[in-house]
Amino acid sequence: MSKSRSILLLNGPNLNLLGQREPHIYGSETLAIHVSNAQSAAKDLGFEIVAMQSNSSSDLVEAIHAARGVHSAIVINPGAFTHYAWSIHDALSAFDGPVVELHLSNPQKRESWRHTSVVAPVAIGTISGFGASGYGLAIRAVASHLS
């Protein structure tokens, strides 16, 4: 796998429950469907996706560390880690490529504690509030940035 054509897609806590958990907020699509959408978008643009989901911030930090020199970009839906996981912020800031933050819902339209993102300061941009379209949009955004 060539670094220049590889995007790491990370998914944080509770995203393994997509399709079951609060479908009125997150939609009825499963994580597998979102990953498949991202893979289709990436393939159309000549990229490969390596996807991972974890409910553990340490697993995500380890994946970010391992991505250095391997993947050209990271797209991350950090879930609740968005708001307080400084270890993920620090790992992303040490990554040697662009990072795109992704959310299915729009955190700014939700509870006030969701309005702060510790990931946004190390991301080139954030895709939020577009539901099922978000994963494809995030892949296209990062691919455009890499072009």
Q: 85-101: b or e for each residue (b if 16 or more CB lie within 10 Å)? A: beebbebbeebebbbbb
Task: Calculate ∠ Cα 132-105-133, nearest 5°.
Answer: 20
Identify the active-site residue in 34, 89, 103, 135. Answer: 103
**CA atoms within 13 Å, Cβ hemisphere of 131:** 10
Q: Which residues of 57-77 are buried (b: 16+ CB within 10 A; e: fewer)?
A: beebbebbeebeeebbbbbbb
26 carries an active-site annotation: yes
Look up 103 and say whether it is catalytic. yes
Q: State the catalytic residue, choosing from 24, 26, 71, 135.
A: 26
Report the catalytic residues.
Answer: 26, 103
